[in-house]
Amino acid sequence: MILRTFAAFCFATALSACGQQTAAPAPATAQAQTGKPDAGAAPAATAQAPVGAVTTEALVGRWGDNGDCTKDIVFDANGTFRSYTGGSGTWALNGDMITMSGAGGTFTLRVQSLNDHQLLIGNPDGSIGTSQRC
């Protein structure tokens, strides 16, 4: 879906961004309240992105849509992208929103991780799709 939206991006000057959603705060634990571990509580997990969250590092690489890697987009670690269409520009991740800017304008997509190799994409028109790592 990134690619289908990117194709529209190449012909449009700008599209509106989707609304932001906020996550509920984590519930307080007895340890947080008293400074003592909960009886029988599991060890604390190491700090990491919440389930479904996407990091900048996770986006870096080559992505296609619907199992098709011939129509790809590549996100580089330096904040640039390039597409099979020849288009290129810059990208930035802010929370669950990825903003891409290039000669055709700027647009924003909502992105969520399904697993290490698939993303759920929320397009500005409200449609939802998936993209896979190539």
Give the integer Cα–Cα distance in Å for 22 and 72.
30
pTM: 0.63
Q: How many domains does the chain have?
A: 1
Task: Report the share of the chain in percent with pLDDT over 90.
Answer: 53
More confident of the two residues 82 and 3: 82
Residue 124: which CATH number? 2.40.128.280
Two tokens, residue 128: 């939802």
Characterise 44 by phi-psi region: left (phi > 0), alpha (psi -120 to 50), beta (else). Answer: beta
Q: Which pLDDT tens digit goes with each residue over 50-77?
A: 558 999 999 999 999 878 999 999 999 9
Answer yes or no: is pLDDT of 81 > 50: yes
Secondary structure class of 90 (helix, strand, coil): strand
What is the predicted pLDDT for the residue at 1?
A: 52
Whether 129 is in a domain gets the answer: yes
